């Protein structure tokens, strides 16, 4: 009798503390339509054709703080999340590290603009980015509502991100790439 009550209580406590991101967050598809092709074309025209030779090491040293962190801050603000610098920094580091471990190996120390490397990297991102972000964000799911996920979906799938924001990040990189 005692052990059954203990197990029931334990299950209730675990169930009440185990949060999960709302289902709407799992519906986000940043690479819907031709977003991936548009991104790769933009990288080719704004980065590769300007003589940049992007590598995994450059992404790790430059992209983490110049692309990933500002993106996470903008997304958090769009969603209406509180400004929590420690959380956004942890998410930046975790997402960047997992992307490097999963897709960075496609590029390694080679120039991503050479051959099919960029296309292979893009396919890896398409396959893995959402699951990496969701897994890394899950510990903070208690902060996230369904309405916030709707806002995130609109931002991540929206035209502005793909035609203005990301090209802006790429322009900044291209203006500095030869010095990195």
Output the DSSP codes for 104-115: IHHHTTS-TTST
Q: CB neighbours (10 Å) of residue 138?
A: 15
How many other C-beta atoms are found inside a 10 Å radius of the C-beta of residue 20?
12
- Does residue 177 contact residue 57 with C-beta atoms inside 8 Å? no
pLDDT in tens, 117-148: 999 999 999 999 999 999 999 999 999 999 99
> Distance between CA 19 and CA 73 in Å, rounded?
22
Mean pLDDT of the chain: 89
pLDDT of 36? 94
Q: Tell me the average pLDDT across 105-111.
A: 95
pLDDT at 14 over 70: no
> Tell me, what's the pLDDT at 22?
96
Alpha helices, DSSP H, located in 138-165: 146-157, 159-160
Answer yes or no: are the C-beta atoms of 20 and 144 closer than 8 Å.
no
Q: Quickly state the pLDDT bin for 83 (edges 50, 70, 90).
A: confident
The percentage of the chain sitting over the pLDDT mark of 90, rounded to a whole number, equals: 82
Q: pLDDT value at position 15?
A: 37
Distances (CA, A) of 168 to 71, 128, 145: 12, 23, 29
Indicate whether 8 pLDDT > 50: no
**Averaged pLDDT for residues 17-33:** 87
Reference 30, options 146, 141, 155, 169; nearest CA is 155
More confident residue, 3 or 95: 95
Residue 10 above 70 pLDDT?
no
The pLDDT of residue 19 is 64
Do 69 and 88 touch, CB atoms closer than 8 A? yes
pLDDT, residue 180, reads 87
Q: How confident is the model at residue 61 (pLDDT cuts 50, 70, 90)?
A: confident
- Report long-range pairs for 121-130 (Cβ below 8 Å, ≥24 apart): 122/36, 122/39, 122/40, 123/36, 125/31, 125/36, 125/99, 126/31, 126/36, 128/99, 128/102, 128/103, 129/30, 129/31, 129/99, 130/28, 130/29, 130/30
pLDDT at 11: 36
């Amino acid at each position: 009798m005692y052990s059954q009550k203990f197990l029931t209580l334990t299950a209730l406590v675990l169930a009440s503390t185990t949060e999960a991101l709302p289902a709407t967050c799992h519906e986000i598809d940043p690479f819907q339509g031709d977003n991936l092709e548009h991104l790769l074309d933009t990288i080719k025209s704004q980065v590769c054709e300007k003589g940049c030779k992007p590598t995994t090491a450059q992404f790790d040293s430059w992209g983490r703080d110049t692309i990933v962190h500002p993106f996470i801050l903008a997304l958090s603000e769009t969603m209406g999340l509180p400004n929590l610098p420690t959380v956004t920094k942890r998410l930046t580091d975790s997402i960047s590290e997992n992307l490097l471990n999963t897709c960075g190996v496609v590029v390694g120390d080679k120039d991503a603009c050479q051959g099919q490397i960029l296309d292979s990297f893009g396919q890896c991102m398409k396959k893995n980015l959402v699951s990496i972000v969701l897994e890394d964000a899950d510990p903070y799911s208690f902060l996230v509502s369904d309405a916030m996920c709707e806002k995130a979906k609109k931002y991540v799938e929206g035209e502005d991100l793909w035609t203005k924001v990301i090209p802006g990040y790429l322009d900044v990189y291209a203006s500095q790439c030869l010095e990195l």
